[in-house]
Amino acid sequence: MRPGLRVAVVGATGMVGRVLLERLESRRFPVGELLPFSSGRAHAAVRFRGRRLAAPAPSPEALRSADLAFLVSSDEIALEWGKDLARRGVWVLDDSAAFRMDPSVPLVIPEVNASELGPERRLIAGPNCTISGLAVAAAAIHRRAGVRRVRMASYQAVSGAGREALLELFGQTRRAARSLADSEPLRPLGPEKARALPAPIAFNVFPQVGRFNAEGECSEEVKVRGELRKLWGAPRLALSATTVRVPVVRGHSVAAWLELARPLAPAAAARLAASVPGVKVWKEGTYPTPRAAGGGDPVHVARIRRGAAPSELALWVVTDNLLKGAALNSIQTADALLEKGWLRPRRAA
């Protein structure tokens, strides 16, 4: 039996943090002692293995004594603690965007590029929840046929924007439902203020995730391009994206068109996708939805078909943004470190 690890979780009270704790428990990850921290909230607490544990603000002494630290909080928290902890010998798995494009920090999805892990590279970044599903689903296709260009549109759940955005969705939905029930069902909804998101999200979609830059791209569209290039080791990969927020609670969907260096039949592409651990390829004529896939571990792939040219494939990918897009990927990376014998208990700093 593996010896228990001293595991810190910064951001344990957030949505991703709570999902992370659930999966650490259900997967029987070898946690000897859990050190949960909020991102600064007073009187916060979490539940783990049937116990209620206080989740105070991060403590330097406690964090530096950990064997493994999951950072599932903000970029600012990651920048404050990530490199400091790694220098002190703590394995750090960061789910923020702070280090993803840092050339000295590996960006890792174990099914895609576990070779980037190393015994001395103790700070490891996890990918953006939007690109993780496509990166896994098309990894074997890229290795076989060489993806040269990606065009994609993402349909992103509100949970990806945080708790306040979810509360905004629920409140707007209740108000809109009452308004529609009291009037003509096709009557346009009136204006409503949005605070957590750029526009009202109930019964609505909008093509903006993050801030726009001078070229008219929003930050999410820039992120997915850079991250897929790094994950696949393909610096010349061309990628154009439109990222769309949709009134879905949990589960990101991506429609993608892949231009290949070498033509590949859809059936062959489906077999390659299915060969990757954790990928579920749906039968022809069926497809996943966020509502059906939410809460599950797999990367779901469907509608693999030819695009506009023999060298182009189209596909539909759905993943749980809080799991494979965040918490689950971090745990799987920790599992890979355990399997290699690099992650093990150490004496407290």
Distance CA 14, CA 36 (A): 11
Cα 312 to chain centroid, rounded: 26
Q: State yes or no: is 129 an active-site residue.
A: yes
Pick the closest to residue 321 from 267, 249, 272 (CA basis): 249
Residue of 142, 218, 252, 300 marked catalytic: 252
Which tokens hold the place of 341?
């014998």
Residue of 43, 129, 142, 300 marked catalytic: 129
User: Do 330 and 125 form a contact (C-beta atoms < 8 A)?
Assistant: no
Query: How does 72-111 read in b/e, with b if 16+ C-beta sit within 10 Å?
Result: bbbeebbebbbbebbeeebbbbbbbbbbbeeeebbbbbbb
Phi, psi of 215 (to 5 degrees): -90, 0
Distance CA 256, CA 150 (A): 7
Catalytic residues: 129, 252
